[in-house]
Amino acid sequence: AQTVTQSQPEMSVQEAETVTLSCTYDTSENNYYLFWYKQPPSRQMILVIRQEAYKQQNATENRFSVNFQKAAKSFSLKISDSQLGDTAMYFCAFMKPGLYNQGGKLIFGQGTELSVKP
Amino acid sequence: DAGVTQSPTHLIKTRGQHVTLRCSPISGHKSVSWYQQVLGQGPQFIFQYYEKEERGRGNFPDRFSARQFPNYSSELNVNALLLGDSALYLCASSFAGTGGISPLHFGNGTRLTVT
């Protein structure tokens, strides 16, 4: 069975600075997907960034980038130039593709609560 | 375009009662998944439906059931409610097809409180 672990329950960062959130996972699969989701107080889970395991290049989305280390089963999220609107709970998630490529189940970590301070 | 919509937004029920939660996916999305998020934890997978058939089930008791309708909307039913069923229930939809995974898009959830 797959597991996802986020070892930092809470983190804080000053506005405009850089912060890195950690995530490790355990799987015997070779083909899978990793995601970072953001959940602000509004409750909606918002996709931040995704990474396909077969891609060696780390994914980037504007101020967000990942450090994907497949052998180490590590998937950290770096947020550059932090903004007040980045304050939220961040979840790391693992997905094994379903039989019909319809998007299999997501396995989430416990979350890291990030506070961006002015 | 409208996102994933869930109803109701909040619900209070008594132990032993039954509840039905509803979800409308993004137009064109054929896959719907349900998740339970207990306060302070990450969401836990309950069900996935694709083309009106169950494609995956998490480790939840038989009191939990779901279905998907021809228009791809979905209902989650929970019977004989327990205090431990109090949680945020999230629905997510995705566009299923060839060419790789499309990410899940989540609704705002239904906050269920069991007293």
What region, left, alpha or beta, does residue B100 occupy, with left being phi > 0 and alpha being psi -120 to 50 degrees?
left
Cα–Cα distance for residue pair B18/B79, rounded to 1 Å: 4
Compute how many other C-beta atoms are within 10 angstroms of the C-beta atom of residue B98. 6
Domain residue extents for chain B = 5-114
CA distance A28 to A99: 17
Q: Do A65 and B18 meet the contact criterion of CB atoms below 8 Å apart?
A: no
The pLDDT score that the predictor gives to residue A99 is 58
Indicate the number of domains in chain A: 1
CATH superfamily label, B5-114: Immunoglobulins (2.60.40.10)
Tell me the average pLDDT across A36-48: 91
Q: To the nearest whole number, what is the mean pLDDT of chain A?
A: 92
Q: From chain A, pick out residues whose CB is under 8 angstroms from the CB of B42.
A: 4, 91, 93, 108-111
CA distance A87 to A66: 18
pLDDT at residue A42, rounded to an integer = 81
CA distance B37 to chain A (A): 10
Q: Is the pLDDT of residue A103 over 70?
A: no
Nearest beta carbon to residue B33 from set A37, A46, A105: A105
User: Could you tell me which chain A residue has the CA closest to the CA of B34?
Assistant: A105
The alpha carbon of residue A71 is apart from the nearest alpha carbon of chain B, in Å, by 22
Is the Cβ–Cβ distance between A78 and A19 less than 8 Å? yes
Estimate to the nearest angstrom the gap between the alpha carbon of B79 and the chain centroid: 15
Sole residue written with tokens 């990793």: A34
- Predicted local confidence at residue A41, as pLDDT: 86
Q: Which domain holds residue A9?
A: 3-113
pLDDT of B45 > 60? The answer is yes
Give A46-55 contacts, CB < 8 A, sequence gap 24+: A46/B106, A47/B103, A47/B104, A47/B105, A48/A77, A48/A90, A49/A77, A50/B103, A51/A75, A52/B100, A53/A29
Model confidence at B100, pLDDT cuts 50, 70, 90, reads low
Q: CA of A45, closest CA in chain B: separation in Å?
A: 6
Say if residue A56's pLDDT is above 70: yes
Q: Measured between CA atoms, how close is B18 to chain A, in angstroms?
A: 24
Asked if A100 lies within 8 A of B50 by C-beta distance, the reply is yes
Most confident of A15-24, A26-35, A102-111: A15-24
Does the beta-carbon distance from A47 to B108 stay under 8 Å? no
Is the model's pLDDT at B104 over the cut of 90? no
pLDDT of residue A102: 54
Mutate to test the interface with B, among A25, A51, A105 (most CBs of B within 10 A): A105
Q: For residue A113, what pLDDT is reported?
A: 97
| pLDDT at residue B1 in the model | 61
Q: Please judge whether A101 and B100 are an interchain contact, meaning their C-beta atoms are less than 8 angstroms apart.
A: yes
Residue A55 has pLDDT above 90, yes or no: no
Comparing B52 with B12, which gets the higher pLDDT? B12
CATH code assigned at A102: 2.60.40.10
The pLDDT, as a whole number, for residue A3 is: 93
Please name the helix (run of DSSP H) or strand (run of DSSP E) that holds residue A96, with its range, or none. none
Q: Is residue A73 part of a domain?
A: yes
- SS3 per-residue string spanning B43-106: CEEEEEEECCEEEEECCCCCCEEEEECCCCCEEEEECCCCHHHCEEEEEEEECCCCCCCCCCEE
Across B20-29, b (16+ Cβ under 10 Å) vs e yields ebebbbbeeb
